[in-house]
Amino acid sequence: MSQSARERLKDKKRIVIKIGSSSLTHEETGDLNFAKIEKLIRVISDLRGMGKEVILVSSGAIAAGRQALGCPKAQTVAEKQAHAAVGQARLMMVYQRLFSEYNQTAAQVLMTKNTIVDNVSRANARNTFDELLKLGTVPVVNENDTVSTYEIKFGDNDRLSAIVAALTNADLLILLSDIDGLYSDDPKKNPDAHFISQVDELSEELMSMGKSTTGSDVGTGGMAAKLHAARIAADSGSDMVIANGDDVSVLWDILEGKETGTLFTAHKSSDFALLDYIESVHG
């Protein structure tokens, strides 16, 4: 069972890749890690060359803005939103330039929770993604941090990426994070915690294991957010893998069917409704 589920990852056509702030920045300074970003773009460009459609959900706007402005870490919402305003443009400039070196075109898509809650906006967003992929671009998605308030925030890019996967009928979602995957407990605190390679059913017991922890002070998504993302992805019909983004070549291992990260297998729910998940997004 495990092998066939992994083997099927080789044939995935429409892939959403989420990369967290901690995987895009230098641990020491919080500044953007350009070597890692370039490697990520090289892998995505190769996937495009293989005929796969790729949507990138990228964190890092606030970190990029802080770096550009030479400011300390933002404390207030206004500071974070100002840093995001500068950083989102800076981040897209980096993506545009590097993707063009590999003969690819990056397209920016900024979303808020309202994009999905509103029926017309949701349909427009779906059509825009379809058209961008048809045109051969790589949509680069982020939450619109400049204008988002608590009420209209997704909360983190783990959940945003799962919503994008559901919206675009993607068949694989990959979360690149600062952890290797799902453990039975926090491995940093419990040496007896064992690694879970594959999850076929997201039981309540499993969901409750996702204590709201994150190993990084750069990002926002802890394991609870990742499990919430897994539920959205699996119920919408998309497989999902959580893997360590420290070395982005892990993407090749995943798509070659190797036992890398934690695989959450899809079990498309007949009564799946994206809005139901949006309403519980802060739950």
For the chain, the farthest-separated pair of C-alpha atoms sits apart, in whole angstroms, at 51
CA distance 258 to 278: 32
Tell me how crowded residue 110 is: count the other CB atoms within 10 A of its CB.
18
Averaged over successive runs of 10 residues, the pLDDT of the chain (283 residues) comes to: 78 96 88 94 97 95 91 87 92 96 96 87 95 98 76 74 95 93 82 89 76 45 82 93 95 95 88 71 46
Of 129, 85, 82, 135, nearest to 109 by C-alpha is 129
Check if the beta carbon of residue 103 is closer than 8 Å to that of residue 44: no
* Pairing label, strands 172-177, 182-183: unpaired
CA distance 245 to 149: 28
pLDDT of residue 211: 55
What's 71's domain CATH number? 3.40.1160.10
Q: Print the domain residue range for 64.
A: 2-279
E strand spans, the chain: 14-19, 53-58, 106-111, 138-143, 172-177, 182-183, 195-196, 198-199, 239-244, 262-264
DSSP 92-116: HHHHHHHHHHTT--EEEEEE-HHHH
CA distance 19 to 180: 13
Of 268, 247, 250, nearest to 259 by C-alpha is 250
pLDDT of residue 277: 73
Rounded to whole angstroms, what are the CA distances from 276 to 60, 82, 167, 231, 267?
Answer: 28, 31, 13, 12, 17
E strand spans, 115-200: 138-143, 172-177, 182-183, 195-196, 198-199
Q: How many CA atoms lie within 13 A of 65 on its CB side?
A: 20
* Number of domains, the chain: 1
CA distance 278 to 137: 27
Q: What share of the chain is helix, strand, coil (3-state, %, to 5)?
A: 45, 15, 35
Q: Residues near 79 by Cβ (< 8 Å), separated by ≥ 6?
A: 71
CA distance 91 to 95: 6
